[in-house]
Amino acid sequence: MTDRRIHNDYISQKGPFVVDCNHAIFTEEELKILERWGHWFQALTDGELAPLTKRQELFVEVANGKRDPVSVEEQAWFKYLGRKRIEQKMGDRLKVSYEYQDDGFYSRADAKELRKMMYGVNSRVHRQ
């Protein structure tokens, strides 16, 4: 079996890759690339599959931090690996969701009304 065939079989056997980190930093295109090629990227990065082309060798260099990402695939994998490292380091602290909660003392409507009032005062003062 040829090396290219081994790579193709590996990709088809693994199925979609699960992007198991926060998706907020990825574009739709990057997420699609990761879901389609993530298992293959991981195998190249870990040395499970040997790179066949110069482009794949450059990809492995990016994954190992030896050069900056250039292609969309390199950028997506670089961002994924970086995000995974950050989430492992920070743990659950990154999973806190921030939601606006009105405490009843000072609402968004109050802030909007105050801005309108201050704009009116400033306009009258500057006209004099």
Inform me whether the pLDDT recorded for 46 exceeds 70.
yes
Inform me whether the pLDDT recorded for 24 exceeds 90.
no
The model's pTM: 0.68
Nearest partner of 21 among 75, 71, 87, 72, judged by Cα: 87
Task: Give the percent of the chain with pLDDT over 90.
Answer: 47
Phi, psi dihedral angles at 52 (to 5 degrees) = -100, -25
Amino acid at 125: V
Quote the pLDDT of residue 84. 92
Inform me whether the pLDDT recorded for 34 exceeds 60.
yes
For range 37-49, the mean pLDDT: 92
- Looking up tokens 């482009």 gives 55
Question: Which of 4-18, 42-56, 94-108 is most confident?
Answer: 42-56
For range 106-120, the mean pLDDT: 83
Quote the pLDDT of residue 43. 92
DSSP for the chain, please give it: --HHHHHHHHHHHH-SPP--S--TTS-HHHHHHHHHHHHHHHHHHHTSS---SHHHHHHHHHHTTSS---SHHHHHHHHHHHHHHHHHHHGGGGGPPP-----SSS-HHHHHHHHHHHHHHHHHHHH-
68: CB partners within 8 A, 6+ apart: 62
Taking the C-alpha atoms of residue 107 and residue 101, their distance in angstroms, rounded to an integer, is 9
User: pLDDT tens, 79-109?
Assistant: 999 999 998 898 777 665 556 666 677 777 8
For range 42-54, the mean pLDDT: 92
